[in-house]
Each structure stands twice: as C-alpha cells, then as structure tokens.
Amino acid sequence: MSTYKKPIVIILLIGLLFFTYGCKSSSTEDTDNTEPAAGYDVTAEGKYSPAINLVSVKSVDATVKFLEGEDIHDNIWTRTYAEKLGINLSYMWVVDHSQYQQKLTATVMSGDIPDVFVCDSLLFKMLYDSDLIEDISEIYETHASETTKMVLEQDELALPCTTIDGKLMGVPITDASIAGAPLLWIRQDWMQKLNIDPPESMQDLMEISRRFVEEDPDGNGVKDTIGLAVSKELWGAYAGLQGFFNGFHAYPRIWYEKDGELVYGTIQPESKQALAALQEMYKNGHIDKEFGVKDSNKVAETIANNKCGIEFGVWWNPYSPLYLSQANYPDAYWQAYPIPSIDDTPAKSQYSAAVGGIIVVRKGYPYPEAVFKMLNFWCDNILFSNDKELRETYLGSLDNPDVVKYKYTDFHLWEPNAILRTYENVKKALATRNTDGLNHDEWQRYQIISAYFDQGIKEAWVEVATYGDNGSVSILKDIAQGGGMVNRFYGAPTKVMSEKMAALHTKEDEMIIRIIMGEPLESFDAFVEEWYKLGGEEITKEVNDWWGN
Amino acid sequence: MKFKKSPGYILFLIINYGVLFFLAATCFFPILHVLALSMSSSAAASSGRVLILPVEFNLQSYRYVVENNAFLKAFAVSVKRVALGVPINMFLTVLSAYPLSRRKEQFRMKTFFTWFFLFTILFSGGMIPWYMVIKETGLLDTIWALTIPGAVPVFNVILLVNYFRSIPAELEEAAYMDGASHWCILWKIFLPISIPTLATVLLFSLLSHWNSWFDGLILMNNPDKYPLQSYMQTIVISRDPTTLTERDLDLLKIISDKTTKSAQLFIAMIPIICVYPFLQKYFTTGLIVGGIKG
C-alpha cells in the first residue's frame, strides 16, 4: 500500500511546484522579459531565402513522444527551422538509438551521405580519412554566435576532440566532462545506525564495509548484506570500480602523464595494489560472490533490495538507481563522499572528455553554415531563456511532461558548467531563503530541497543528495578545481588502437575479474607483459606521438 | 498389454520422469517468471523479489500495453509480415523443391542448381552489399523489404527435397502412366503425402518471420514501421553502463521498468505459443523423415 502512494506524493509535489512557479513568473515578468525579444532578431536576419534543403538522419528512443498530429518530420523544430531560418530539414531515415551507428555506417558505405549528421568518434575518424566531411574551422569563426562559442569552449576538452591536424572537422555535442568522475556513495542511514564516522581513508572505507557485512545494518537478523557493489561491466556509471582504483592512485582505462609521457592507467603498478585489496574484500564476502555474472541491472536490484551499502558511481546516481533503495525502504539515504585515499596524498577522481557525438557536414554540401544557424538559434534564444512560454514551446510543457520537445532535434547543446552553477545558486538561495534570480531549473530544485527539510517529504532526498548543500555536485566542484585526473588522450582513436583496443579491453576485464575472484596477483604482471605484446606497445607509441604534436 | 513391473523398471521410470520434468521445468520457469513479473508491482519487480508468483498483484502493465500505440502498431506490422511472408516462403519452397528432387535424367542442370542454392547458405555478401541491393531495388522502407529478401529459405527447401526424394518412384510413375503432368504430380500426389514436412517447414518459416528483428531495424526508415520483434529489441536491450550520462536518465527509467517490459514480452510470445501445439505433432516426424536420404 505504501509503495502505491509514493508516486502520487511525487506528482502532487511536482504539480505544486509548477503551480507556484506559474504564479512566480507572472509576478516577475517585467524583469525577465527584456532579453528574449532581442534574441529573435539575431537569427531572423540570417534567414535563407529561398529556403534551402538539409537532409539529415535521426536516432530516437522510447522516450521520444509527440503531440497529437505531429511526428519527427513535422514538429515545432522542423517548422521553426523552416519559418525562422529558411532551412527545410528532412530525414533520410529515423532509427532507434540502439541501431543508429550500424544503420549510419550502412548508409555511408552505400554512398548515400546525409548533408549534416551526428556520428561517433570512430566513424568520424573514418570519414575524415576518406575525405568525406567538410572542414568547418573558418565557418565556425565567422558563423558561430558568441553564445554558441561560449558553450562549446566552456569545456576545454570539447573542441580538441573534433580537431584533426589542426582543422575543426565537426561540432562536439558537449556535456560536462566532470559529470563522469566517480564518487563514493554510502548508505548514510546505516552509518548512523552503526555509529560510524565518514571515511577519511581507504582503510576506513574497508572497515565500514566490514561492519556493513558483519553487523547486520538492515536489521533483519540475517547476515545477508554485502559491502561494495560491483557489476560485471566493472567500469559502469554506477557500481563501477574506477573510484576504488582512484583511491589507490590508479587510473584504469585512461591515459595520464607520468614521467613526461602518457601511460595507460590499468597496467601501472598502483592497479596491482587496488586489485589486492579487492581480492581481500571478495575473500571476506564484502563483494557479491557472484559479481562476475551480475550486470548493472542486476546490481540495481541488490541496491533496491537493501542488500548493499557502498558503491562507486557518478553524481547523478540518486536519480538512478539509488532512488530504488529509498522507494522500497523509506529511510534509506545515500550520501556522496569524495574518493578517500590509501595514503597521505589526496585521491583524484578520473574523468574523460564527454563528447556524446559529433555533428559533421558532408563534403560538398553548399550550406555548411546552416549547422551554426541552427545551433545559434538554440544557444541564443532557448538555452538561457527564462521565458516560460518560449520554454514550453520549444522544450516541453508541464501539461504534457512526457513530450520532451528538444529531443526532436540533434542541433542542441547543453552548457557544461550548468551543473555547478545550479548548485551554487541553489545553495545561496537555500542559505538566504531568497529565490530572486534563480532560473527555472534552479528554482525547481530549490523547491524540492526545501520540501525535504520543511515538510519532511522523504522522496525529495534525491535532490538533496545531488544539488543539496553537501550533495554530490559540491564534490564535483572540488574535482573541477584540480582534484581530478583527466584522460589526456582525447583524440580520435589511432590506427592500432581502433584495431586492437577492444580486444585488449576484454582481456583486461577478464584479468581483473579473475584476480578479484582469487587468482594469484602475479597474473597481473603476466597480463602487463601480454598487454604490451598484443599491441599495447604500438598503441602507447601512437598515443605519445599524438600527444607530442 | 500388461506386464509385471520390476523394481528396476519402476526406478527407471522415476528417474526418467524426474529428469524430463526437470528439463521441462527449466524451459517453463523463464516464461512463468516473465508472466509473474508482468503482474507484479514495479517496486517488487525492481528489487528482484518476484520469482514465479506475482508479488503485489496488479494488471497496470497490461493496461499500459493496450494503451501503447507503438506496441500495437508493431504487432500489426508483424501480423502483416507473417501474412505476406509465409505464403511467399511456402509457395517458393515447394516450387524449388520439386525440380531439385527429380532424377538427373529428368533434370539435367540439377547438380548446378543444387549447388547454386547451397552456395547461399555457405556464403553471404555481408551487411553492406545486402543493404545496397535492397536499397537499389527500391524495397527499402516497405513491407516487401522484410518478405522478399528471404523469400526462398534454402534450409527448408533442402528438407522438402529430401522428403520428396523419399517418396516411392512407383507412385509418380503410376500417375505418369495415367497421363499426369509434373504440375499434377506435384499438387495432387506429392503435396498431400508431404503434410508432415510441409507443417514443419511452415512452422520454421512462421517462426523466422515472427522472430527476426535485425532486418526491421536496418531496413525500415521509421520506427512506426518496425515489426514487433524490432520494437521489442529497442525496449529490452540494456544500455552499456560505461557510456551512460545523465541525459539517458529518463530512458533508463523506461528500460528498467521490468513490469511493462515483461507484459510486452509475454504478449509477443502468445501467437507462437498458440500455433506450436497444432503443428507440434507433425514436427518430429516431419523433421526426421525429411532428413533421411531416399
């Protein structure tokens, strides 16, 4: 019965928020409305006349829903591009997300290249090598608006990802790189119950894990809890091992600088220590005995089932899968901590450039600047707008929360810094209880966090654990200010890398799983030797050549 | 007939039934599990508390499926595909099997054509040429793209050829003496006595059309035209957790919604479950007899 009530509470809560927001925006309209009107003119003057045709391809997934009578070929975005920019956007095909790359490859190979499309870094490199895409360096300088440039350059790793031989060959779809940095998540309610202090070091963490296993934190009288959640994929966005390795100053799967050259993290001696610790934890039952066959969905079940109390994952973990824990056990509360260290040197969370995709232009397409016209329209008019009507028209409205309109177009970028800024603004507002100057998103989060503290609505813990005062985003801030370890290799895959890296990754994962499950540590050294022999040496050389340039 | 059951025989029966029951249970358990998941509350399903009985019984997920346009559309496409594809398969299988089952004196090019058919089982052009052929022939994005490229299932042809060859030559000769043509021999004599094998071939063809998903994803240019299994693939597949970002969160919620997923899986299973028992009785004999060289 109680599980049935929760969604209703959340819906009511959100409904309340939007209702009050509606009241709020009407009262502050005078101050808000000075900006957006000007935005339209900027793009209006850049309208193509007569209109041009732009053929693209599109991936959709189960979350893309339309208003009655609309579809992917006819919606607010296609109409806007036609009316305001004079661009007739059409799609050669539309495919489910899971098959996008495959279908795109088939299309490109058969010689039918769309005018503008999104691809991954592997295909990007191939297209460049085959001279099929346009160099857009100059057009970027002349046609990207100030705001677009600002968004693209905010994350210093973004543009270099799509620059080959000094030429900008595509537009990176940006995201915050630090959003991928691992953090430590612990069941706060269990720690309080067993009277444990927050972990200061890796040693503390292992002690907490021991007590979680032995002292029955879930209070069901059975010793059935495990300490650390690990999935068989090893490096997932939740229940991954990157964070654990980082605690030992090992940086698996990334390239970092050591003694003046780039080295591959997994094969460094520090990894061996991390593996030794994991092996010990596995032996003592702190890690699920069957973790080698449990994928991340299965691990989410363990979390939902109140059976584990520690995991390493990224900042948004409370939204999924940790919320399941609280949904089933109302008192559950996961708290984020910085990665603890095994010694006196502070640990650094590892992260890589977050380029979700690359927008490229077919070689010979007569209007390459159309890409920036569309991106400018998004960045100048929509991205920073607080105009309720505009947001509802282009992003989606509350009457219809399933219909998320920005998903109809690939030509939208998000601001990498938005997470941190939202955190700062919400924090300030919470301290002063003054919501002036908050944008729509921030205001929403502020309301949910207040509801947790003022009205004791426990479902709201998700926001408290992320954007709250000591939430996960506060740790990202430290990571952004130098407390992280960046993957120094962000180029397109090199030659040997694209041939052999996948196989090496598989071998690497097998080695790690075997060692954790009890194989002697010496096999790590054997693996390192093998890694160099099976192409690792050439890849290291390629990476360093790339870095030297 | 009655005979005395020795203790050894009884023991054999017990073990035999035990093993067979266990085998059947391992096949049946996943189906029951999916059914139980589809009728449980999502909280219970997400925390893995459901085994073979529904926990916190409700039919919300079935309601979702009935109201879900995409599922119904895909179901309709699949039905259409089967309705078109299976008759085409059967017709062409029969027409190719008959000449290939003739003796060499009757059909000189037999060896060549047999190898010609077998060749397609052993070698294929790969995905890109396959895609290009379908594109250039204008089938892309139509229901024909799903039915024409696989119109002659060579494995089925071989099954039927072997069965035809096992038919006593006297039957055919007698008909020939009475003035029957090849058409007449095929339709009036061969087909009626090949029903077990035809049923097997029909089942294979039905299954392959109902179950294939990859061609739908690659050959259709719009998710609206996906057959059922292609649609199922898009909701059942799990995202690679190493490349997840916060933008995937809402998708993650849909994918991790086990109850609706299970309900759709279960409904998609129903047509085949319904057909199977009726064809099952021909299935074993058809397959074995077809495999013996005549």
Q: What is the CATH number of the domain that holds A126?
A: 3.40.190.10
**What is the ipTM score, two decimals?**
0.75
Conformational region of residue A238, where left means phi above 0, alpha means psi within -120 to 50, and beta covers everything else: beta
- Looking at the fold, whether A109 and A245 belong to one and the same domain comes out as no
Q: What is the pLDDT of residue A33?
A: 35
pLDDT at A272: 95
Tell me if chain B has a CB within 8 Å of the CB of A328.
Answer: yes
Task: Give the mean pLDDT of A155-182.
Answer: 88
Residue range B191-198: mean pLDDT, rounded: 89
A90/B contact by beta carbon, under 8 A:
no
**Please, what sign has the CA dihedral across residues A207, A213, A214, A218?**
positive
Residues A55 and A114 sit within 8 Å (Cβ to Cβ): yes
Supply the pLDDT for residue B243.
Answer: 72
Contacts 24+ apart (CB under 8 A), A435-441: A435/A24, A439/A384, A439/A386, A440/A21, A440/A386, A440/A388, A440/A391
Q: What is the mean pLDDT of residues A209-222?
A: 90
Q: Using a pLDDT cut of 90, give the percent of chain A over it.
A: 56
Tokens read off for B187: 């339709």
Residue B288 has pLDDT above 60, yes or no: no
B132/A295 Cβ within 8 A: no
Q: How many other C-beta atoms lie within 10 A of the C-beta of residue A259?
A: 5
Burial class (CB within 10 angstroms; exposed 0-12, middle 13-18, buried 19+) of B123:
exposed
Residues of B within 8 A of A295 (CB-CB) are: 238, 241
Whether the Cβ atoms of residue A120 and residue A358 lie closer than 8 Å to each other:
yes
Find residue A301's DSSP bridge partners: none
Portion 299-318 of A in contact with B at CB < 8 A = 300-302, 304-306, 314-316
| Structural domain includes residue A448 | no
CB contact under 8 A, A95 and B217: yes
Residues of B in contact with A356 (CB under 8 A): 245, 247
State the pLDDT at residue A36.
Answer: 34
* Interfacial A residues in 213-232 facing B (CB < 8 Å): 231
CA–CA gap between residue A170 and residue A99 (Å, rounded) = 22
Distance CA A436, CA A244 (A): 41
pLDDT at B20 over 90: yes
CA distances from A96 to B80, B192, B205, B217, B230 (A): 21, 45, 26, 7, 9
Model confidence at A416: pLDDT above 60: yes
In a domain, A524, yes or no: no
Give B199-243 as a DSSP string: HHHHHHHHHHHHH--HHHHHH-SSGGG--HHHHHHHHHSPP-GGG
Please check the confidence at residue A122 and state whether its pLDDT lies above 60: yes
Per-domain boundaries in chain B: 1-58, 65-291
The answer on pLDDT for A41 being more than 50 is no
Say whether residue A367 is in contact with chain B using an 8 A CB cutoff: no
* Average pLDDT value for chain A: 87
The per-residue pLDDT for range A137-163, each reduced to its tens digit, is 999 999 999 999 999 998 888 898 899
The reply to whether A369 and A227 lie within a common domain is no
pLDDT at position B168, please?
87
Q: Do the Cβ atoms of A181 and A314 come closer than 8 Å? A: yes
In this complex, the residue of B135, B235, B244 whose CB is nearest that of residue A110 is B135
What mean pLDDT, rounded, does chain B reach?
Answer: 86
pLDDT classification of B92: cutoffs 50, 70, 90? very high
Asked if residue A75 is part of any domain, the answer here is: yes
Structural domain containing residue A118: 35-176+354-408
Q: Give domain status of residue A535, yes or no.
A: no
Nearest CA in chain A to B241: A236
Quickly state the pLDDT bin for A472 (edges 50, 70, 90): very high
Tell me the C-alpha distance between B40 and A230, whole Å. 27
Same domain? For A208 and A243 the reply is yes
| CB of A237 less than 8 A from some CB of B | yes
* Residue A532 located in a structural domain: no
- Total domains, chain A: 2
A334, β-bridge pairs: A187
Lowest mean pLDDT among A36-40, A107-111, A172-176, B57-61: A36-40
Question: Does residue A320 share a domain with residue A259?
Answer: yes
How many C-beta atoms lie closer than 10 Å to residue A86's C-beta? 17
Q: Kindly state whether residues A324 and A369 are assigned to the same domain.
A: no
Q: What is the 3-state secondary structure (H, E, C) of A505-546?
A: HHHHHHHHHHHHCCCCCHHHHHHHHHHHHHHHHHHHHHHHHH
> Is the CB of residue B216 less than 8 Å from the CB of residue B226?
yes
Q: What is the pLDDT, as a whole number, of residue B254?
A: 67
Sign, CA torsion B144/B148/B149/B155: positive
pLDDT of B125 above 90: no
Structurally, what CATH architecture does the domain formed by B65-291 represent? Orthogonal Bundle (1.10)
- Are A359 and A305 within one domain? no
Q: Which residues of A411-445 are buried (b: 16+ CB within 10 A; e: fewer)?
A: bbbbbbebbbebbebbbebbeeeebeebebebbbb
Task: Tell me, yes or no, whether A194 and A163 share the same domain.
Answer: no
Mean pLDDT of B85-102: 94
pLDDT of residue A2: 42
- Residue A181 above 90 pLDDT? yes
**Per-residue pLDDT, B2:** 62
pLDDT of residue A27: 36
In angstroms, rounded to a whole number, what is the distance separating the alpha carbons of residues B269 and A306?
33
CB atoms within 10 A of CB B119: 11
Q: What whole-number distance in Å separates Cα of residue B144 and Cα of residue A308?
A: 52
Confidence of residue A37 (pLDDT cuts 50, 70, 90): very low
Q: Scanning every residue of chain B, which has its alpha carbon at the shortest distance from the alpha carbon of A404?
A: B250
> Same domain for A337 and A366?
no
Rounded Cα–Cα distance for residues A134 and A363 (Å): 4
- Residue A141 forms part of a structural domain: yes
CA distances from B262 to A231, A369, B49, B68, B70 (A): 23, 47, 15, 14, 16
Nearest CA to A244 among A194, A299, A193, A281?
A281
> pLDDT tens digits for A320-363?
889 888 988 889 999 999 999 999 999 999 998 877 789 999 99
Model pTM greater than 0.90? no
Q: φ and ψ at B150, to 5 degrees?
A: -105, 30
Q: Cβ–Cβ of B246/A301 closer than 8 Å?
A: no
pLDDT score of B286: 60
